[in-house]
Amino acid sequence: MTAEPSVVEVTLESDLKNLEVVEEIVRRVAGTAGFGEESEHQIEMAVHESMINAIWHGNKNDASKSVWLRFEIYKDRLEIRVRDQGNGFNITEVPDPCSAENLLRVSGRGIYLIRTFMDEFHVKHLPGSGTEVTMVKRIDPAH
């Protein structure tokens, strides 16, 4: 049986000015979960990039739309969900930013960074209501 997680849930106006608000929340949540400084920064960056995807690409920078975040702190992991009100994207169509032909592209590194920094990354299209990404970072007791 899995113990009930501690939950932090927040809904924010879809505006880039909220990025720093979210970073502060992430720092506190990650600290509470017991992550060290390096993991905390990785989680912060992963959520930052997810927020940008949600605000910029999902909600098309429309401040009348919202971004919903949910943090679930378990004993062994932190699960984070970020949901926007956009039309979603096909994860298989995201090009590899490290391949020679894409290396000097200006954009397209966000999802790559999320995948690098988190242990799990999933994208789910919610018909009629947006896109939800789920990220998991396992808590390494040694750090």
Interacting residues toward another protein by CB under 8 A: 16, 19, 41, 45, 48-49, 52, 56, 97-98, 103-110, 112-113, 116
Rounded Cα–Cα distance for residues 39 and 111 (Å)? 17
Query: Which is closer to another protein, CB of 41 or CB of 138?
Result: 41
In the complex, least distance from residue 131 CB atom to another protein, rounded to whole angstroms: 18
In the complex, least distance from residue 109 CB atom to another protein, rounded to whole angstroms: 4
Query: Which is closer to another protein, CB of 41 or CB of 70?
Result: 41
| DSSP secondary structure letters along the chain | -PPPPEEEEEEEES-GGGHHHHHHHHHHHHHHHT--HHHHHHHHHHHHHHHHIIIIIISTT-TTSEEEEEEEE-SSEEEEEEE-SS----GGGS--TTSTTTTT-SS--HHHHHHHHSSEEEEEEETTTEEEEEEEEE--TT-
Of 120, 132, 136, nearest to 5 by C-alpha is 136
Query: Which is closer to another protein, CB of 17 or CB of 75?
Result: 17
Query: Which is closer to another protein, CB of 39 or CB of 72?
Result: 39
In the complex, least distance from residue 104 CB atom to another protein, rounded to whole angstroms: 6
In the complex, least distance from residue 101 CB atom to another protein, rounded to whole angstroms: 12
Query: Which is closer to another protein, CB of 15 or CB of 74?
Result: 15
